[in-house]
Amino acid sequence: MSYLVLARKARPQTFDEVVGQRAIVKTLQNSLRRNRVAHAILFSGVRGVGKTTLARIMAKALTCTQGPADNPCNECESCRAITNGSALDLTEIDGASNRGIQEIRELKEKIRFLPVSGTFRIIIIDEVHMLTTEAFNALLKTLEEPPEHVYFMFATTELHKIPITILSRCQRYELKRIPAPELRDHFQRLAGSEGVELAPAALDLIVREAEGSVRDGLSLLDQVFSYGEQSISVEEVVDVLGLVNHEIITRLARSLLNRDAAEALKTLDETYSFGMDLKRFTSELLDCFRSLILCNIKGCTPLLDLPDGELATLQALAAEHSLPTLHQKLNLLMQGIENIRYSSQPRLTLETTFLKTIEADNVVPVTELLGQMDKILTGASGSPLPPATPDSTRKKKDKPATQPPESKKQTPSTAPVHQEKQGGTQSCPRHQELTASPVSETTTSQPPSLREPPPIKPYRERPSKDHSRHGQESYDQPIPETLPPQPSHSHKRNVRRDWSLFIDYVRDRSMWMAQDLQRVDSIKEVDHELRLHYSDPNNCALLRTKENIKLITEFTLDFFQKELTIRFILPQQDQDSEQDDSDSPKKQRQQLSSDPLVQMTTEIFNGQVGDIRVGPRFR
């Protein structure tokens, strides 16, 4: 007999052998024990978690000679036939290759007959989401009310592709990924049964590569068993599977965080020498930084499904750096790795990404910076600064600093003038204290960086005529309490003059409306009425609707700042004259020149309509 791979050799045959699906196994066993098995069951989940296995175990439990039993005996003829794949009452088809309506019709004809040897007829459809819409529709009625001797069991990896009409007729079981500890124990038992001793680090590496799939892990184990001897180390697993040792990834992450460019580039070169796929390598690096961030966040350690030794190493590395720093490094790596997909030199792009990540300084929180600034300001002034308010942050206009300190005090007569210039608000109390008191010796003895800034000189316009004897402009005249009113230079827009600007204004809001307004023959403003003259009524047919007239009125009010009423002036012609002149050359020329396509073409190419010829020669 040919060799049987571990994925088939270690397939569970009873509910007790199923790994990692305790809740679903318990539900199925209770339904068998209480005779509450649904006529249609749907198993969904990722690859290799036990969907088809559970369907076959359920088929054996239903057709077992001991009953329907909560656990098949695997000794009766029905159980052995299902295990060997020779059961006549079990029909297992692949939905990917039998997806048409004709296959479903044949299946419906088969289930009409009673089972040959057992009690029930079981239909298992794997990858059921591959069926066509017509096949699903043909299965609806039978699936809702099947014969009493028929059970349907479906398996799929893409639950969202199944119609809701099928889902509503099935009892759904969503299988989860197998946790790492259970996978590790399962693989350890299989290695012991095969007489192979796996190093703990090698077993952890296989578990991590399995990603919660039992079948993927068994395929990796089978490959490792074929390569190694009785004892297999982690280096052999890395060599045979073409993986990157997680110690290398951790070392690279440490060099990026510690700003060691040489170590990072050496580690990258070592990884390339292994022939590692770049996409897989970068994915492992990003996953390592994600683990560091989760280790740095309190309470997020259970989210990491890692071995104890590897988890301890990552926790020690994460404790050396702050969370903002780790987050910044991860963002830089993600941006650089995203650019690798479009680069002609991926390795060079990755190296520059590493250098950019290393050169980024450590991130200091803004709150810490503000706290340090408060300490510096408090130490310089001797007392904490008052909180800033909108009124206290305004600049205070003082008199020139050339006056002696005693003249800085305001007199009762000048105080109201100063308050009026400040807009009726009081200045900062600290600023008032500094400007009202004379400069002391301790103030002048302070270093220049810690002294209070000198009072700001008020802005004053230069007089136009008063000059001193030396030709200098005089600044000693008193400041007027109020400024003279400035003349208003409002620009009133004219309809005829600014019509092209109005067209541009409308074009930014409605392209077609601007084109129709541009076809107007003449415009005129008469008694708060904007008259638009059109020689062809077709050019303004859409503009004359009630909604569009209202919209044009709003545009004119916003642009011209006038309340204008829109009125369209059209030629008054009777029906007979229109019918007589409909084929006239003048009418044809006018229709051609006002055609929307012609108008759009002239506007795009910034041209104008030239000769229009409608004679027989040009038809």
Measured distance CA(572)–CA(574) in Å, rounded: 7
Question: Which structure tokens are listed for 587?
Answer: 């009418």
What are the residue ranges spanned by the domains of the chain? 6-174, 180-241, 246-359, 499-604
CATH of domain 246-359: 1.20.272.10
Question: Please, what's the b/e burial string for 520-555 (b: 16 or more CB within 10 A of its CB; e: otherwise)?
Answer: beeeeeeeeebbbebebeebbeebbeeebeebbeeb
Whether the per-residue pLDDT at 411 is higher than 60: the answer is no
Cβ proximity of 530 and 566 under 8 Å: yes
Whether the per-residue pLDDT at 439 is higher than 50: the answer is no
Residue with tokens 């601007």: 514
Q: Residues 13, 19, 23, CA angle at the centre, nearest 5°?
A: 105
Whether the per-residue pLDDT at 458 is higher than 60: the answer is no
Tens of pLDDT, residue by residue over 478-489, are: 444 444 444 444
Cβ proximity of 93 and 139 under 8 Å: no
- Lowest average pLDDT, out of 121-135, 136-150, 320-334, 348-362, goes to 348-362
Whether the per-residue pLDDT at 608 is higher than 60: the answer is yes
Tell me which DSSP letter residue 41 carries: E
Q: Measured between alpha carbons, how far is residue 565 from residues 35, 419, 523, 529 in Å? A: 82, 49, 13, 5
Cβ proximity of 245 and 270 under 8 Å: no
pLDDT attached to residue 292: 92
- Lowest average pLDDT, out of 28-32, 380-384, 386-390, 496-500, goes to 386-390
* CATH architecture for segment(s) 6-174: 3-Layer(aba) Sandwich (3.40)
CATH of domain 499-604: 3.30.300.180
Tens of pLDDT, residue by residue over 203-234, are: 888 888 888 899 999 999 988 888 877 888 88
Q: Measured between alpha carbons, how far is residue 484 from residues 10, 126, 363, 389, 397 in Å? A: 98, 90, 53, 31, 19
Helix (H) or strand (E) holding 142: helix 133-144
For 112, how many CA atoms within 13 A lie in the half-sphere containing its CB? Answer: 6
Beta strands 40-44; 150-156: pairing state:
parallel
Cβ proximity of 253 and 332 under 8 Å: no
Task: Pick 520 or 588 by higher pLDDT.
Answer: 520
For 106, residues 6+ apart whose C-beta sits below 8 A from its C-beta are none
Pick the CATH number of 180-241 from 1.10.8.60, 2.40.37.10, 3.90.1150.200, 3.40.605.10: 1.10.8.60
What's the CA dihedral at 195, 201, 206, 211 to 10 degrees?
Answer: 140
Measured distance CA(569)–CA(97) in Å, rounded: 71
Question: Which structure tokens are listed for 126?
Answer: 């794997």
